[in-house]
Each structure stands twice: as structure tokens, then as C-alpha cells.
Structure 1
Amino acid sequence: MILEKIEQRYKSLSRQQKLLADYVLKNPKEVMNSTSKELAEKSGVSTATVVRFAQQLDLDSFADFKIAIASQLSSGKVIVDTVIEKDDTSKIMSEKLEQVYASSIQKSFSMIKEADLNHAVELINKATHVYILGVGTSGLIAYDLYHKLNRYGIKTFYETDAHMNLEFLTNATKDDVVVAISYSGKTKEVGIGAEYAKEHHIPVIAITREDTPLVENSDVCLCIPDNERTIRVAAIASKISTMYITDLLFISVMQLRYGGMKESAIRTNQLINKLKEK
């Protein structure tokens, strides 16, 4: 879909192209009724920028760009502008958030490579221990994955203190695996851990965007879409995409270990239920 392609390539666009991209994403129907000159005037760029923009999206001409927009509009799969405006009603904000959730999962699903997912699942399944790295929003997702894996009998290490996380990692061996989570792929606390793991031949599963430094220090990357534009509010889309991937990784491992993990869950529930006894 052309609008999703614009979202994906947004960060690599020039300042003028971003002005045009912002206008197109917010007003796709207007593109249908505009010439290249009219669209340039409406978005505050030159006509040449409009033409080059279409070409950068792998289209031969502005006419092909309009056809691509028309095709997406007719399919009903249109990106709702998710910038929060001052006069948005609760209903409008709800619709925008629903679109963020749906779009984030759809984009993440489209980027999944089955071979990479299977490789990551195999690494976790055969690992003696799992070490998870992540800070900030990625840290919240790391903490969630840490509890899920431990709950189902997979010995996992994660600490919200990044220094402690690196301390844990010094005990890892080549029989373990590291799950490094970072949307930017440039988080120092995660990058240092991934570099250490690579130097010591410890397998690394990276959950990040496909063009980040973290990918270079990983054995397998479960890539998430580059869908967090600076004009958007908070890291909602990246959080949803990342959690979708970690949950997919978890249930895939659970499926592989179904019998043993089921017994572990039963034991955990039985123990916790004792807290509820009067």
C-alpha cells in the first residue's frame, strides 16, 4: 500500500519531501483531484519535489502516484491521521488509536520472515538461559517477556537496572541466548550488551528496525516497522509493534514446548492460588 510505504520511508525523506508526505498522509483524497502543480502549492513545495517524490516511491510518474492512491482508497485501507489535535473529540481520538493499533500490527505482520522467526524460536528453545536487554519503553516490553518465559519454566534474566543487566550477562555462555530489544537500535545499554555477547559467541536475537546498528551484532533479527514519525504523540506505534513480535516469539516457543510449559503454568497457578485461600 502506497500510504504505508510513505510512512516507512518518512525518516529518509528531505525536509521538503516530509512537508509533502505530511499533506498526502493527511489528505489522500485531495491528491486524487490535484495536478502536480496544485499539490505542490497545497503542500508548500515545488512541482519538481512532487515529481521526484513519486519516483522515490518506485513509481514512474505523478500519474502512477495518483493511481496508487486511488487503489488504496478504493480498498478501504486508508491511514487515519493519528496526530492528536486540540479540538479532537473522545470518539475521534478513539478512532485514531484504533488505527494505530491495527496499522502497527498489520505492518509488523507483513515484515515477519518465517525463517528468522523459526531460527529465533530454536535459539530460545535450546538455550540454557535467556538474557533480555531493553530500557525505557523497550524495557517495559522486556519485563513482560521476562515474566512470561519464567512463568512457563524457561530460566530468564532481566533487571530494570541496566548495570545489573550487564552484570548478569557476564555469566552467560554460548549455550545461552540474548534477546536485545530496542526500537532505535542505538540504545547504549542494549548495544553494549549485544556487542559483548557477539564477542563471546553468545547468540543474539535482535528486535529492532531493520536498518539499525543493533542488527549488525545479532544472529537473527525480528524486524519491526519504522512507523514512529516525529509529529506523532508518544511511542505508541513502536510499542505495539515490538510487543506483537515478543508475544509472537513467546507463543511460538510455548507451542514447541507445549507439554512441559503447560505443567509449569499449572504449578505456578497452584502456588499463587494459595495466596487467595482464606
Structure 2
Amino acid sequence: MAAKYAHQDDNIITVIQERLDSLNKSERKVAEAILRDPTAATRYSIAALARAANVSEPTVNRFCRSFSATGFPDFKIRLAQSIATGTPYVGQNISLEDSVREFSDKIVLNTIASLEKARQALSPKALGLAIDHLIQARQINFFGMGGSAPVAMDAQHKFFRFNIPVMSYDDPLMQRMVAAGSSTGDVIVVISYTGRTREMIEIAGIARDTGATVIGITAPDSPLSRVCTIALEITDAEDTEVYMPMSSRIIHLTVIDILATGVTLKRGKDFQQHLKKIKDSLKPTRLPVD
């Protein structure tokens, strides 16, 4: 079967290069068209790639499946994940020689690929439990440090609409005091990509000891994940210890959107009027559309 040819986590560009001589004539045309410019290939439609390789669209689909992809869209996601040369302290898939078009494409494509990987990894059961706790919370506090601080602030902006007291904190001393003052019925959401920040782990433990529910948005099986009441575990290849956080931040913002949407849906139709009133309050602040 197709799965014997390549593993989902393999670098697809390397695998194509290694298998080039073993491909039949038509498949080799597809491979060579991709290897000529992998970044451009991620922008192709299946018809465009077929034209570039001078083969039929079914041939392109067969080629993709032979590399363990479910089809051309899945293959493009894996191809985008493989375009990763890396410039330290900038972006994991960015090269110093990249043009504006190249590095902007890489950032967008890597974000799309990372979001798809996160979609597959997120547990609907854990999301459902987190939403249940949030909707019943007496108060909600979002904690984030460094690159996670803006995510916590975004969460406060989303959740204040729900008639639940909500705050965000990025200062570890304030986080520690808020955690210590929490009690049963309070929910604290801690956001950390690595899940290995010592202060965040200690603060989550303090909150758990008070009886608060601690929801972690963090790395799988990390020290922070293990101390949380509920862990929303995110898988992403971005190494934020070397590179500037990019896709990981977008993934965390997306998880906040999922939680906010879940709370909205749980509130039911009667709550829509409340949200409409808040939205309508902004109308006088905006110029009319031409």
C-alpha cells in the first residue's frame, strides 16, 4: 500500500529525491516538476502541476498517494512542512537569501501546515471538557508569558463578552498572587508553547492546590501539561527556543477562538441578543461603507 513508501513525518522533499530513480516515467516527471521549485509547487492547483509535468491529473493523484498522502491537498501540506531551512532567531523555515515572495510564502504555507497538524492532534473530548468548565466558571483568568502574553490578552478580549469576570496577566508575580487567591469555581487558562517554563508550572500547581480548574494550552506530555486539570495539547514542529514564534502563536490564537466559539454555542440562541448589543455599540465609532 502507499504507506510503505513514506511515513507521514518524513521530509517529503528528501523522500522524493531518494526515490527519484525508482519512479516510472510519468511519476518522475511529476517529481522533477516539484523538485525544480518546491515552494512554487505548493501554490499549484492539481491541473497546474499536471501541466508543468506534462502528465494527466490522475497521474498526479497517483504520485501523491504513493508518498502516503490522501490526495493532492494533503500532499501540498506535507510539502509545505518540508520547506524548512531555518535562519536562527528569525523563522524556522526562513533563509537569509529568500526574496520577499519566498519568505512570505514560506510563512503562510508553514502556518497552514501547522494548523492542519494541530487540527488533527486536538482532542475533541478535552476541548469539550474545557468549554464546560469555562461556561460554568465563576471567573476566568488567562496567563501567558513572553510570546504567549498577547494570546492571553486576545483571550480576554474574546471572553469579556460572556458576562463572566475575565482578566489576563503576563507578569509572573501577579499570576502567582491571582493563582493563590483562586478557589473552586475559578478557571485559570495557562498558555505556554513549550510547557517547560518553570514559573508557569509552579503557578499552575499553586492554582490546582486552591481547587481552581487549570486549563493548559501547551505541548503534549510536557511538565505543564501534566500539572493541569485539562490539557489542550498542541503538536507543532516550531522550535521557539531558536526561532521567533510564528505558527505556534497562530495555533494558540486559533484554540482560543475554538473555546470562545464553544462557549457561545453552549449559551444558546437567547445569548445571541447580548452579543448583538455589544456589536451594535461599535457602529457609531465607524465611518459608513462607501
The TM-score normalised by the length of structure 1 is 0.72
Paired residue type of 1:29 = I
Q: Within 1, Cα distance between the matches of 2:282 and 2:240? A: 43
Pick 1 or 2: higher relative contact order, CA cutoff 8 A, min separation 6: 1
CA 1:191–1:233: 2 relative to 1, 3 Å: closer
- The counterpart of 2:103, out of the listed 69, 74, 93, is 93
Question: Once the two structures are superposed, what CA deviation does each residue of 1:25-74 show, in whole Å capped at 9, x if it has no partner?
Answer: 55332121379xxxxxxxxxxxxxxxxxxxxxxxxxxxxxxx99733397
> Which 4+ stretches in 1 moved above 6 angstroms?
none
1:30 aligned to 2:26? Answer: no
Aligned residue in 2 for 1:113? 123
- Segments of structure 2 that go 5 or more residues without pairing to the other structure are 23-63, 85-92
Aligned residue in 2 for 1:175? 185
1:219 aligned to 2:226? Answer: no
Question: Once the two structures are superposed, what CA deviation does each residue of 1:235-272 show, in whole Å capped at 9, x if it has no partner?
Answer: 11211221221111111111111446434434434555
Secondary structure of the 1:226 match is coil
1:192 aligned to 2:202? Answer: yes
Conservation of the 8 A alpha-carbon contact between 2:143 and 2:149:
yes
1:254 aligned to 2:264? Answer: yes
1:79 aligned to 2:76? Answer: no
Paired residue type of 1:27 = T
By how many angstroms is 1:88 displaced?
1.7
Q: Within 1, Cα distance between the matches of 2:254 and 2:190? A: 15
Aligned residue in 1 for 2:138? 128
- Segments of structure 1 that go 5 or more residues without pairing to the other structure are 7-23, 36-66
By how many angstroms is 1:174 displaced?
0.7
1:102 aligned to 2:112? Answer: yes
Aligned residue in 2 for 1:5? 9
User: How high is the sequence identity, in percent, across the aligned residues?
Assistant: 22
RMSD, aligned CA: 2.9
The range that moved more, 122-131 or 251-260, is 251-260
Conservation of the 8 A alpha-carbon contact between 1:173 and 1:200:
yes
